Amino acid sequence: MKFGLLNGEALEPVDDRRFPMAINYPAQAEPPLRWIMLISRVCSLVPMRLKSEMWNADVDFDLAAFHCQVRLLLRTLRQLTEACTAFFLLEDVTRMKFMPAHASNPVSDPRRKTKDERQAVFPTFMLPRACAGIVLKRLLLMPAQGSQAQIKSQVDTELKKFGACLSPREDLHHAINFWKEVLRCVEKISEQGLEASDLLNDMRQADEFLEGKRRLFHI
């Protein structure tokens, strides 16, 4: 959010790596596509449980590009954490006594015998796959037709297309709950006068759209 990545605006690809023409990526996203892109980007940050390591769905280029930007931020956070630690240790080497004894050993080092020792010493800032965002985006883009029973059948059919997902409905609930928490945080930030009113307006409109789809699709 601080770097302006948390929004529903269409991303601008670099000149030498344009999006494929076949995906019809918009130059400018208008509602409801703007809301769908914002919701799916936020929800894509929540990990989804998979039956195997293979993700057998189509690539979503918007979410893939969004995750490339987020990955750069997370990598920078890790490097900043390591740099700050190195600074404090070089400033006073006696502080090494506060570091774990295995801190300088690689994770694969056999001297790391216990489970705790095999854990990373520094936060890894791992970026999850965008699965939750992809599944939710597919549902939000799906046109609702017919009776409630027919709509439910359409939703079930769409979810079955993601065969690698262990429990797509339950994981979507977790992702939507995360969206609600992000919205609550933005509301608090806006109340403090930290210039988040534009983002808050977008998120509130997107949340109204999402709630309408949840009632219609029973998700």
What is the model's pLDDT at position 14?
Answer: 76
Q: Which residue has the higher pLDDT, 99 or 109?
A: 99
| Closest C-alpha among 165, 184, 205, 155 to residue 38 | 205
103-117, 118-132, 205-219: segment of lowest average pLDDT: 103-117
Which pLDDT belongs to residue 4?
82
Whether the CB-CB separation of 213 and 140 falls below 8 Å is answered with yes
Query: What local confidence, expressed as pLDDT, does residue 146 receive?
Result: 85
Name the average pLDDT for the chain. 88
Angstrom distance (rounded) from CA 71 to CA 65? 10
Pick the closest to residue 61 from 15, 9, 25, 7 (CA basis): 25
Confidence category of residue 92, pLDDT binned at 50, 70, 90: very high
Return the pLDDT at 15. Answer: 77
